[in-house]
Structure 1
Amino acid sequence: MKTKHFLAITLLSVAGIIPYSSVVLAEEITCRSTLRAITVDNVRVPSGATCILSGTNVKGTVKVESNATLKASKVNVIGNIQAENAKNVVVDSSSVIGGNIQIKKSRAANIINSRIKQDLQFEENAAKLAASGNTIGGNLQAFKNTGGITIRNNKIDGNLQCKENRPAPTGGSNIVKGNKEDQCSRL
């Protein structure tokens, strides 16, 4: 039934009867290619896949699985972006995340010029990480990363917390309302 409903909406959208931007897809979408200006409930990027979100509205959470890549540009995610064992996560171009961005036990991540209403967390990642030009409503936390991390030009309402990163984080010009702690005390 859901498949028939989805196909009917998609056909009406393609025919121009329903504007494409108003198409709403329910439940969880498995993304292996590109999702443009549509609204979905949740997005799952399966193991080994690459997902591009461009102007996409996500009413729930984006989950990035093992060895998967997420490239999100101009997205609005009501919930969280969660990556564990991911290959690469890029969030940029004025994206808005209503929850947290959590990058754990992954490789590379680049979070740029976005608004994160809660926390930005990098934990036990193995390749180059960057957080630059973001507005963060909670904390920015970087713990036990081994590929290097640059933290620059962020506005952080909470704390900037960095521990046990090798090499130590680099960057600067961060405006932090809370505390700058440990390895990030001078950033």
Structure 2
Amino acid sequence: MMLKPISGVAMTLIGLSTSLMFPHLVMAEEITCQGNLGAITVDNVKVPQGKICTLKGTTVKGNIVVERSATLNAIGAKVNGNIQAEGATLVDVNSSTTVGGSIQVKQGSAARVVSTRITGDVQFESNSGRMVANQNQIGGNLQAFQNTGGVTIRQNRINGNLQCKENNPSPTGGGNIVQGSKEDQCARL
């Protein structure tokens, strides 16, 4: 049996019917950020290895991924999803930025999360540089585990728990309002 080629009109109809049957399969675009993004709206952001990205008033409908040796500066940004960094040089989130998900900084150098509203958790894990969480509103937990560059946790409102373990030196700070429990190295903060 010989197959006939499908015409352009038939292909369009197949594509249209597929998108009508499965509307949730729309693909989100990922923007590679090297430099500055202003007050625009994007789907997802990737900060590539070794690059610097500044988001100033930017709305991110999805997630931000910060790659190894990269730097993210988020100033007054709105992130509907998560900020995830592994091996980053710096993650600096401040000035009334809002994050609909969580902020996770692992095995990197430094991070500053200041004057930010986070719906989910903030997690600093196995970082070698200074970690700072000041004057934030955190809907979930704040966790600092195995950091070696110093951790400062000051004047945060945390709906979940404040958990700190195996940081050297021990975290400093205070004035945190915690709805859950203050645990281990953060018991007095």
Q: Aligned residue for 1:17?
A: none
Task: Indicate which of 50, 53, 56 corresponds to 1:51.
Answer: 53
Deviation per CA, 1:110-132: give whole Å up to 9, x if none: 00000000000000000011000
Cα distance between partner residues in 1 of 2:64 and 2:58: 11
1:107 aligns with 2:109: yes
| Residue 136 of structure 1: how far off its partner (Å) | 0.1
Cα distance between partner residues in 1 of 2:76 and 2:50: 23
Task: Indicate which of 165, 177, 180 corresponds to 1:178.
Answer: 180
One-letter amino acid matched to 1:170: T
Cα distance between partner residues in 2 of 1:143 and 1:62: 22
Q: Aligned residue for 1:121?
A: 123
Unaligned segments of structure 2, at least 5 residues: 1-27
SS in structure 1 at match of 2:183: strand
Cα distance between partner residues in 1 of 2:114 and 2:105: 14
Unaligned segments of structure 1, at least 5 residues: 1-25
TM-score normalized by the length of structure 2: 0.85
Q: Aligned residue for 2:33?
A: 31
Q: Aligned residue for 1:88?
A: 90
Cα distance between partner residues in 1 of 2:151 and 2:161: 17
Q: Which has the larger radius of gyration?
A: 2
Cα distance between partner residues in 2 of 1:117 and 1:183: 24
Deviation per CA, 1:35-68: give whole Å up to 9, x if none: 0000000000000000000000000000000000
| Residue 107 of structure 1: how far off its partner (Å) | 0.4
Cα distance between partner residues in 1 of 2:82 and 2:37: 17
Cα distance between partner residues in 2 of 1:139 and 1:128: 19
SS in structure 1 at match of 2:29: strand
Structure 1 stretches of 4+ with a deviation exceeding 6 A read none
Task: Indicate which of 57, 65, 68 corresponds to 2:67.
Answer: 65
Q: Aligned residue for 1:42?
A: 44
| Residue 186 of structure 1: how far off its partner (Å) | 0.1
Task: Indicate which of 142, 146, 158 corresponds to 1:156.
Answer: 158
Give the paired residue count. Answer: 162
Cα distance between partner residues in 1 of 2:70 and 2:76: 20
Using the aligned pairs only, state the percent identity: 61
Deviation per CA, 1:127-151: give whole Å up to 9, x if none: 0110000000000000000000000
Cα distance between partner residues in 1 of 2:135 and 2:71: 22
Cα distance between partner residues in 1 of 2:124 and 2:185: 14
Root-mean-square deviation (Å): 0.5
One-letter amino acid matched to 2:98: V
Deviation per CA, 1:52-99: give whole Å up to 9, x if none: 000000000000000000000000000000000000010000000000
Cα distance between partner residues in 2 of 1:154 and 1:58: 24
